[in-house]
């Protein structure tokens, strides 16, 4: 393996949890090198490539239409429409009932609630993984340590301190309601899990006063077009829809480029069995 220790070799998914992107890596091996070639990515063992960023072509939303029944729409992740994230399943059905209890951090990571409450204290020799009963924490992301590959939930306490909670940590956690609004990209950054959403009240209010005589071109899902105040519509969704939407966990891919042609961009699914090791410096 070109002198690499096994600890230095990562599959694509683990690499993205261990390191910030972009990063240069060397292709070490993997069972799916042939599959990558068939997907028009001319990857070979020993090649140096740039892993640019995690991406997704579109986001799938579904909702119940009063006339047509269940509808499925595909939305650009760049849309600037804002959403409220509802409580995880099954708490969103009746927020007034006692909340579901997550008994470990690993359970929390399966749902990725945007906020959660610790109902028990957990003392630790490591200050960055100690939690206090009654405090509410802001979910940031799932991370993995490069050396031992252990998984942590990174979160923020009420004082703004960043904590890394090991997935093995036991406790009594419940999801908390979140009144913030998020774009689809921000929701993706919180974790690729199924979620229940609603359009923000601000969006619905804007749609009620939208001028029907305006050209369709301002109703766009592309970021950066029109003025900052231009109302943006999600095609296929009624303008004043106020019901629940299901956000379906997307198939993420890595945008990557070979070192000898950085203008070329490949799409590498995270599910591909391709092994890489980090490269700290490449030849100019």
pLDDT one-digit tens code per residue, 54-107: 999 999 999 998 777 899 999 999 998 999 999 999 999 998 899 999 999 999
Ranges of the chain with pLDDT below 70: 1-7, 36-40, 123-129, 204-232, 281-284
pTM above 0.85, yes or no: no
Q: Per residue, what are the HEC states of 24-41?
A: EEEEEECCCHHHHHHCCC
Give the architecture-level CATH label for domain 91-175: Roll (2.30)
- Write the CA distances from 11 to 14, 30, 270, 274, 275, integer angstroms: 6, 8, 8, 6, 5
**Contacts for 98 with CB less than 8 Å, ≥ 6 apart:** none
DSSP 217-243: GGS--STT-S-TT-----TTS-TT--S
The reported pLDDT for the residue numbered 209 is: 45
Q: What are phi and psi of 121, to 5 degrees?
A: -85, 155
Q: Which fold has domain 6-56+251-278?
A: SH3 type barrels. (2.30.30)
The reported pLDDT for the residue numbered 216 is: 37
The reported pLDDT for the residue numbered 176 is: 97
Listed in sequence order, the DSSP H helices in the chain are 12-18, 33-38, 105-111, 184-189, 201-209
CATH 2.30.30.40 residue window(s) in the chain: 91-175
């Amino acid at each position: 393996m070109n002198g690499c220790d096994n600890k230095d070799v990562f599959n694509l998914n683990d690499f993205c949890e261990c390191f910030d992107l972009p990063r240069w890596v060397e292709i070490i091996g993997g069972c799916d090198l042939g599959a990558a070639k068939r997907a028009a990515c001319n990857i070979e063992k020993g090649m140096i490539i740039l892993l640019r960023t995690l991406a997704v072509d579109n986001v799938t939303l579904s909702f119940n239409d009063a006339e047509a029944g269940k509808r499925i729409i595909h939305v650009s992740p760049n849309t600037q429409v804002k959403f409220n994230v509802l409580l995880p399943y099954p708490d969103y059905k009746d927020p007034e009932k006692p909340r579901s209890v997550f008994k470990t951090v690993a359970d929390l990571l399966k749902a990725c609630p945007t906020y959660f409450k610790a109902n028990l204290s957990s003392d630790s020799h490591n200050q960055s993984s100690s939690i206090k009963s009654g405090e509410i924490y802001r979910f940031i992301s799932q991370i993995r340590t490069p050396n031992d590959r252990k998984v942590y939930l990174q979160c923020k306490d009420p004082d703004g301190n960043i904590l890394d909670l090991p997935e093995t940590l036991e406790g009594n956690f419940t999801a908390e309601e979140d009144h913030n609004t998020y774009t689809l990209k921000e929701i993706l950054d919180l974790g690729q899990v199924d979620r229940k959403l609603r359009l923000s009240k601000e969006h619905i209010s804007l749609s009620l006063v939208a001028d029907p005589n305006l050209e369709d071109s301002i109703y766009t899902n592309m970021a950066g077009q029109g003025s900052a105040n231009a109302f943006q519509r999600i095609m296929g969704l009624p303008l004043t829809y106020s019901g629940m939407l299901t956000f379906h966990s997307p198939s993420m891919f890595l945008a990557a480029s070979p070192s000898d042609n950085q203008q070329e961009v490949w799409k590498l699914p995270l599910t591909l069995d391709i092994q890489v090791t980090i490269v700290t410096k490449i030849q100019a």
